[in-house]
């Protein structure tokens, strides 16, 4: 399938680990010029080097997407490096869940700032440049709990539900500008956040993934490359009539579409 991504400029937040890294590698392999951002400098450098070694074009920005000034710098550096923006993948994020009564205002605010306001600010900054190029693609990462929130899943499920509402509203607002906006609802994917949790708990990472996969209908946890495949499709020419949609990427785990 021809994805038509050659020469496109794609910003991927959180592009140094897990799903974001796999997406950056995939889009760069398809010929896109990619901008990756994250807070940690060593992984930014090693990921950029990996993409360049494979023949890709990449610009790395050290940034925290929960800070407005860093969002502005991501867009400014993208314009300066590559002259425009065609694709924005709002991927940076992590899980924040627990007992409702133990989540303070600061915990809620931090989750909104990272996973909702980061996307709001970057989209607001990027759309003018997408309009100028005759269109664009935005993919917002979410989780399957956004549509079926369970006990002790906040603030993540609330933040993600807001992200899905924003995705749908933006898809309608920007359709006249050929800016297509979609979401991917992740179930369980092998990634840095799970690896770090295993290390913190002193448990074997592979054994943990085996255990996590038992409750997934396909019998396993997904791979970051499998998420990257879906994101690459959504930002490609092949998905030119897809907007305002959310794709469950969960091996069948979700009870709802
Ligand atoms: N993997 C899953 O099972 C799963 C499930 C549901 C939803 N998701 C969602 O999918 C997305 C990707 O998750 P993942 O599992 O691939 O995560 P991951 O492996 O932990 O990678 C997260 C990436 O985001 C970056 N990041 C984190 N906070 C950031 C910030 N404030 N500013 C800029 N970059 C930041 C990290 O780099 P630094 O730490 O260096 O900044 C890293 O590059 C997230 O939004 C996550 O919530 C994942």
Nearest residue to 148 via CA among 199, 191, 185: 185
Kindly list the structural domains of the chain, giving each domain's residue range(s) and its CATH number in brackets, ordered by start.
Answer: 9-248 (3.40.50.720)
Ligand 1 atom with the shortest distance to the CA of 36: 43
Q: Give the separation between CA 140 and CA 65, rounded to whole angstroms.
A: 14
Q: Are 33 and 24 in contact (CB under 8 A)?
A: no
Residue 196's pLDDT is what? 95
Question: What's the CA-to-centroid distance between 242 and ligand 1, angstroms?
Answer: 25
pLDDT of residue 191: 96
Q: 24 CB under 6 A from ligand 1? A: no
pLDDT of residue 77: 98
Beta-sheet strands, E only, within the chain: 9-13, 33-38, 57-62, 87-90, 97-98, 136-143, 154-155, 179-186, 246-249
Residue 58 β-bridge partners: 34
Segments of the chain with pLDDT less than 50: none
pLDDT of residue 41: 98
Alpha carbon nearest to ligand 1 atom 18, residue: 192
For residue 64 and ligand 1, the question of a CB distance below 6 A is answered with yes
Can you point out the beta strands (E) in 39-193?
Answer: 57-62, 87-90, 97-98, 136-143, 154-155, 179-186
What pLDDT is stored for residue 148 in this prediction?
Answer: 97
Q: For ligand 1, say whether the CB of 18 is within 6 Å of any of its atoms.
A: yes
What is the per-residue pLDDT for 228? 98
The whole-number pLDDT of residue 42 equals 98
Report how far apart, in Å, the C-alpha atoms of 89 and of each of 21, 100, 156, 256 are. 11, 30, 18, 24
């Amino acid at each position: 399938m021809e994805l038509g991504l050659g020469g496109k400029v794609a910003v991927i937040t959180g592009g140094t680990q897990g799903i974001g890294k796999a997406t950056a590698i995939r889009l760069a392999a398809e010929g896109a010029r990619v901008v990756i951002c994250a807070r940690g400098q060593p992984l930014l450098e090693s990921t950029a080097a990996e993409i360049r070694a494979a023949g890709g074009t990449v610009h790395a920005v050290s940034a925290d997407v929960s800070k407005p000034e860093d969002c502005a710098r991501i867009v400014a550096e993208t314009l300066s490096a590559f002259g425009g923006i065609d694709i924005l993948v709002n991927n940076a994020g992590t899980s924040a869940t627990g007992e409702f009564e133990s989540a303070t205002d600061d915990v809620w605010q931090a989750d909104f700032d990272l996973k909702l306001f980061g996307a709001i600010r970057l989209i607001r900054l990027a759309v003018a440049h997408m309009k100028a190029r005759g269109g664009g693609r935005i993919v917002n990462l979410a989780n399957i709990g956004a549509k079926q929130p369970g006990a002790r899943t906040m603030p993540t499920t609330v933040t993600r539900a807001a992200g899905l509402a924003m995705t749908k509203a933006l898809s309608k607002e920007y359709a006249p500008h050929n800016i297509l906006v979609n979401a991917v609802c992740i179930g369980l994917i092998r990634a840095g956040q799970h690896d770090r949790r295993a290390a913190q708990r002193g448990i074997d990472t592979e054994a943990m993934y085996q255990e996590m996969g038992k409750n997934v209908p396909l019998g396993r946890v997904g791979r970051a490359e499998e998420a990257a495949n879906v994101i690459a499709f959504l930002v490609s020419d092949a998905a030119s009539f897809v907007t305002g949609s959310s794709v469950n990427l969960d091996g069948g785990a979700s009870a709802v579409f």
